């Protein structure tokens, strides 16, 4: 669990710096993960992934792009090409 948290923090930090190089000073943070982070449909409310609430806790100049998917793992993100969709190979 500690490794996953450290990995997530490192990934988010790296993405913030990489995406902040644009001239408009808008920061884009991509999040990837499993059902604990994924956006949930209104039909299952009040169940939510924690990334659904994340935009409420960051500055308006930060855009959160949540790419978390229920039932996915690091292995499936690689095999399904989901890393490539956010700019990592």
Average pLDDT, the chain: 76
The residues that bridge with 62 in the sheet, in sequence order, are: 27
Report how far residue 27's alpha carbon sits from residue 72's, in angstroms, rounded to the nearest whole number. Answer: 26
Per-residue confidence (pLDDT) for residue 75, from 0 to 100:
78
For residue range 63-77, list pLDDT tens digits in order: 988 888 888 777 787
Contacts with 28 (C-beta within 8 Å, 6 or more apart), sequence order: 15, 19, 62, 63, 65
Picking from 39, 31, 36, the residue whose alpha carbon sits closest to that of residue 10 is 31
Q: Which of 10-14, 48-52, 70-74, 81-85 has the highest mean pLDDT?
A: 48-52
The residues that bridge with 29 in the sheet, in sequence order, are: 64
Picking from 47, 34, 49, the residue whose alpha carbon sits closest to that of residue 1 is 34
Q: How confident is the model at residue 43 (pLDDT cuts 50, 70, 90)?
A: very high
């Amino acid at each position: 669990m500690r490794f996953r948290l450290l990995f997530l923090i490192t990934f988010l930090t790296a993405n913030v710096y990489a995406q902040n190089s644009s001239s408009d000073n808008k920061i884009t943070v991509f999040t990837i993960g499993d059902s604990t982070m994924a956006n949930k449909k209104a039909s299952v409310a009040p169940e939510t992934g924690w990334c659904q609430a994340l935009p409420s806790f960051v500055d308006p100049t930060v855009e959160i792009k949540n790419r978390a998917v229920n039932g996915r793992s690091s292995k499936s993100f690689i095999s399904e090409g989901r890393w490539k969709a956010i700019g990592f190979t």
